[in-house]
Amino acid sequence: MNTAPIGILLVDDHAIVREGYRALFARQPGLRVLAEAGDGATAYQLFKDQHPDVVITDISLPGSSGLELISRIKQRAPKARILVFSMHQNPGIVLTAIRAGALGYVTKSSPPEVLLRAISDVQAGRHALSADIAQALAIEQLRGEQLALDALTVREFEILMLLLDGKGAGTIASTLNISPKTVCNCHYLIKRKLGVGSDIELVRLAIKLNVMDLLQLAAAP
């Protein structure tokens, strides 16, 4: 009996990346790219229009991040199957994505077959992690270290990423469709939860936790 191919919504802000993986999926008879998007707002609209079986999204997107996209999709469709495909390997980011509703997390350094297997697993409702992510999470557990970022809610983590990108309260409020007062309150809660007293300490902690690196800091306007 013939089985319908898995319909995919591919979300990445780099067109060349989307093109490469669209070509990979086109060679798989069991997969079909229904639509693709370069930002979260477009992706959310396409999700509503196309009803994909699996959403594959990066974490870093223009405007609101992949974490916000995951949250919005899950609020609309709690049973949605979402797979994160990203360069980020920080265990705190991984756990935040999973807490937001992602079923799988695969790094872009993984072999193509790992991504293909993860798509099938996620579509079937199973969790899927690439080996490097599974190893990083295991190491953190063995160390017995509490992941500082795990104390943040998905919304707080989203605001943290925008703060680290140099965005002001007004810009963040506009991006996330919340009030500037809410942004300021979250800013305070983020610092309290992470045990820092100033924005300088917040940046230092973010560098230590690999949320941002010195190259990103140097490149910031």
pLDDT (tens digit per residue) in 117-175: 999 999 999 999 998 888 777 666 655 434 567 778 878 887 888 888 788 999 988 88
- CATH code for the domain defined by 148-219: 1.10.10.10
Indicate the CATH number of 6-142 among 3.30.413.10, 3.40.50.2300, 3.40.50.970, 3.20.20.70: 3.40.50.2300
Please indicate whether residue 137 or residue 72 has the higher confidence score (pLDDT).
Answer: 72
Hey, do 6-142 and 148-219 end up sharing a CATH topology, with the first three levels equal?
A: no
Nearest to 151 by CA among 105, 117, 196, 218: 196
User: How do the domains of the chain map onto residue ranges?
Assistant: 6-142, 148-219
DSSP secondary structure, 151-220, as one string:
GS-HHHHHHHHHHHTT--HHHHHHHHT--HHHHHHHHHHHHHHHT-SSHHHHHHHHHHTTSS-HHHHHH-
User: What percentage of the chain has pLDDT greater than the value 90?
Assistant: 52
Return d(Cα 82, Cα 84) in angstroms, integer.
7
Q: What are phi and psi of 8, to 5 degrees?
A: -120, 140
The model carries a pTM of 0.74
